[in-house]
Amino acid sequence: MKKKVVKTRPAPLGLPFSPAVKFGGLLFVSGQGPIDKNGKVTPGDIRAQTKATLENFKRILEAAGSNMDCVLQTTVYLKDLSDYSGMNEAYSSFFHDPKPARTTVQAGDLLFGMKVEIQGIAYVPEKRRK
């Protein structure tokens, strides 16, 4: 098996890592944040930033032939744990039961002043594997 890089669009920030790597039927998604197509952090509260982050996450999954129902595990990094409840509100709207396994950690300062960053592992359904 070979690993394959998944790209969705030119990375606006030009950082030295892949948005996701596919290996066999698994997809490893790098930490995503609320960054818009112009490389700017989405303004707003934790709900708005979590929604924007998960839209970016979803875009990568779809580019790889996967979707949010195929997410197995996520790690959520929060700047401030007092945002936990608001993050959960937005997060829950993206996942159906059974929800993925998840760890949430307080990360302190995140890049570019983001309030949230989310990474994860998903699978690509057999019929969608390339």
What CATH number is associated with residue 96? Answer: 3.30.1330.40
Residue 129 lies in a domain: no
Maximum C-alpha span of the chain: 43
DSSP of 41-80, one letter per residue?
BPPS-HHHHHHHHHHHHHHHHHHTT--GGGEEEEEEEES-
Structure confidence by residue, pLDDT tens digits, 93-118: 999 999 999 999 999 899 999 999 99
* Residue type at position 20: A
- Residues 35-60: pLDDT tens digits? 998 889 999 999 999 999 999 999 99
pTM of the model: 0.92
Residue 13's CB is within 10 A of a number of other CB atoms, namely 10
Q: Is residue 105 domain-resident?
A: yes
Domain hosting 74: range is 3-11+20-124
Residue 64 belongs to a domain: yes
Count the domains in the chain.
Answer: 1
